[in-house]
């Protein structure tokens, strides 16, 4: 495994009270220069081997969509569960710096790994349906999650960047698990339905434009999606790192655990740290095996 070069933000200061207030009110926070250009180059360099079924650890990902030679050339490529496949990527997605950031915004004393994913959206790639990440952790208690979404290329409106609806994490609306890629209906249809249920007129969609290495952290209840990539030459690349409440456990009965339930042990509702390690905690605890598994790419 190659160690990544020092990040653009070497100190990673704690978030401020005003940043936490903004996150709680609006459901998101934008941070600049989270990763350096050298780090981005190393990260992006690992994607092609992964999508070519070259898994460094020999372990397959949890989800895998958009395979060269099997999918449409303009299909969005997504892979979830990166840390189990590749230790260079694990050194980023398991970093306590990102976990601390996520936990601090949520007001948690610690953060547990939830899922990590890369998104590669080539020219003419279709939209991704509006959804809430909390829907995909509905088999857990609490079903609470926060995501740090890092741009690995210029995330522009034309290239189909992430779109959000500020404040929508406060809506008393429900959602269902759906296939997100290339929806046949309007990719915003789930959002319109949720807004109607929440009695919100004309929800305002905001496109998040980011330079490479910058990030948006957003609440798991925040509605988000993305439009098609309208460019002819630009692939939009991003890395998403989602963390859970440290005390999260499995619900006794749930039919919505298509990712998480495969790691559920029969004799307990506890989440095994072999699969859902503790990444950061205020008291200094971090799941012990991580020290030998991968380095921390975000430590200078």
Q: Which CATH architecture fits 23-247?
A: Sandwich (2.60)
Q: Residue 90: is its pLDDT beyond 70?
A: yes
* C-alpha to C-alpha distance for 194 and 1, rounded to whole angstroms: 44
- Cα–Cα distances in angstroms (integers) from residue 89 to residues 55, 81, 116, 175, 296, in the given order: 11, 10, 10, 31, 10
Domain ranges of the chain: 23-247
- Cα–Cα distances in angstroms (integers) from residue 118 to residues 193, 213, 276, 300, in the given order: 28, 14, 18, 24
Percentage of the chain exceeding pLDDT 70: 92
Average pLDDT over residues 216-223: 97
pLDDT for residue 12: 61
- Cβ neighbours for 18, distance < 8 A, ≥ 6 positions apart: none
E strands, 70-154, are: 77-80, 110-121, 128-131, 140-141, 145-151
Q: Of 55-59, 67-71, 152-156, 219-223, which gets the smallest average pLDDT?
A: 67-71
Tens of pLDDT, residue by residue over 240-251, are: 999 999 999 999
Q: Is 124 left (phi over 0), alpha (psi -120 to 50) or beta?
A: left
Tens of pLDDT, residue by residue over 54-77, are: 999 999 999 888 776 666 778 899
């Amino acid at each position: 495994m190659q160690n990544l070069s020092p990040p653009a933000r070497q100190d990673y200061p704690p978030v401020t009270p005003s940043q936490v207030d903004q996150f709680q009110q609006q459901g998101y926070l934008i941070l600049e220069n989270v990763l350096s250009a050298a780090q981005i180059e190393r990260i992006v360099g690992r994607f092609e081997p992964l999508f070519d079924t070259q898994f460094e650890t020999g372990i397959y990902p949890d989800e895998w969509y958009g395979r060269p030679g099997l999918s449409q050339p303009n299909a969005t490529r997504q892979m979830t569960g990166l840390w189990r496949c590749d230790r260079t990527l694990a050194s980023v997605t398991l970093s306590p710096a990102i976990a601390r950031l996520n936990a601090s915004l949520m007001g948690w004393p610690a953060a547990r790994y939830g899922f990590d994913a890369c998104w590669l959206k080539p020219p003419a790639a279709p939209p991704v349906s509006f959804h809430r990440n909390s829907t995909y952790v509905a088999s857990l208690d609490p079903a609470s999650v926060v995501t740090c979404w890092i741009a690995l290329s210029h995330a522009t409106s034309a290239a189909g960047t992430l779109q959000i609806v500020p404040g929508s994490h406060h809506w008393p609306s429900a959602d269902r698990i759906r296939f997100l890629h290339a929806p046949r209906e309007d990719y915003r249809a789930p959002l319109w339905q949720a807004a109607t249920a929440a009695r919100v007129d004309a929800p305002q969609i905001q496109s998040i434009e980011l330079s490479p290495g910058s990030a948006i952290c957003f609440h798991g209840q925040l509605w988000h999606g993305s439009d098609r990539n309208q460019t002819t030459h630009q692939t939009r690349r991003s890395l998403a790192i989602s963390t859970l409440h440290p005390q999260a456990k499995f619900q006794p009965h749930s039919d919505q655990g298509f990712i998480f339930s495969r790691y559920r042990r029969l004799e307990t509702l506890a989440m095994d740290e072999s699969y859902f390690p503790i990444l950061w905690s205020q008291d200094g605890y971090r799941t012990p095996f991580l020290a030998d598994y991968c380095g921390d790419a975000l430590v200078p």
